[in-house]
Structure 1
Amino acid sequence: MNNWMPHNKCIIHSSQFSVRDIGDRFDSGVLMYVLLCFSCLICFSSSFYCFPGNTALTYACAGGFLDVVKVLLKEGANIEDHNENGHTPLMEAASAGHVEVARVLLEYGAGINTHSNEFKESALTLACYKEVARLLLDSGAQVNMPADSFESPLTLAACGGHVELAALLIERGANLEEVNDEGYTPLMEAAREGHEEMVALLLAQGIHSGHGSQSCVELYFMIPV
């Protein structure tokens, strides 16, 4: 381990190694062994961090190492630690599409509507995967944008062209006319990005295409080809 010189390092009893590096190279059993058997009870509290601000739990959630996540939580890892991006372990799991990891975090009481400080992201706004979003919604995630947020889940889904996710959000009551911090609705964002199938889905809901100073059709045809 002393020969590894990863970009992100954890300092543990004067030795340095990367939790993500281990996770990438070996299975979850090896990672648990390193974390727990070598007196590596790291990152269980806010005073022990892996640079840049990620805890062992954050890395395990981002990597989808379910067994590791369970061990860390059982041993008392802080489930609400934020990394430098303001993301909690649940946000990282949702962003990467790790449904079972997200489920375990929720069972341990992870804050489902916690938002990052700077960009006001939530687990749901970070979820680009339908099944993760379904789990979050079933567990009480807010489908519409809180007052202090920049983007709603539907706006982000529309902007990214995630049609199945958008359909799920609409089914759960997403506000089709919600305006983001730039003044655009989900339909306008979909049109700006050239997502034809998404535009069709949103128009099928009865949305008027002329919302705002430019119609969505005008925005669509402004896109360079």
Structure 2
Amino acid sequence: MAEPSTASQSTDDEEFLTPTEVIRRMTVAWQNELAAPCLMPTEMDLVDILLDQIKGMEENIARQQEKVQLKISLHRMELQRISYMTSDYVRARLLKIEANPRRVLAEHERRVAEGLSALLDDNELEFTKNFVNAEAQLLGKTVLEKSRFLREDLEIECVYVKVVEEDVGEIVLQDNLDPNSEHVIALNKDEIHLIPFVPIRHLVEQGKLQLL
């Protein structure tokens, strides 16, 4: 069964993405989102592309003949896998937003002001703002001010990462036992490290490291 072609708008120019590449990128985004201790930059454009693919695949399946029943079953399994991945990705992001919408909103606005990749897409941004307003009305300003201890302390979060690109270089980490000492870790391709999240977050966002 032929898959529909897709295209996605990159930051610089229009980039053609094959269905296979879209699924690969969505898989990486999904795994990173599940493993990251905080909300990662949005990849909802990939979700939109995959939803179109799913619709096209469903239409193709409906046109198949009984003589290719095994092929239809295999395509249905793939369709279910893609549907689960996209739904779970969206669900994971919503849970993180709901856990601390004010922090997410502030982080999104900071990233946009600094010219970094957006934390939220337009729909997520609207949802977050509505959630913040609803929370404020329900709990009141005083309660919210006293609940700042709920903010994530990302400085102490460690994650497993795999180096997926060549020439990533080295990263310098402070020694927790001796503030005056540092550790230098070489990030060689295919290596796996347990490492603090904050110093390598930008490398994950650049696609050089993948969270496990």
TM-score by length of 1: 0.25
Larger proportion of helix:
2
Larger proportion of strand:
2
Question: Relative contact order, CA 8 A, sep 6+: which one is greater?
Answer: 2
TM-score by length of 2: 0.26
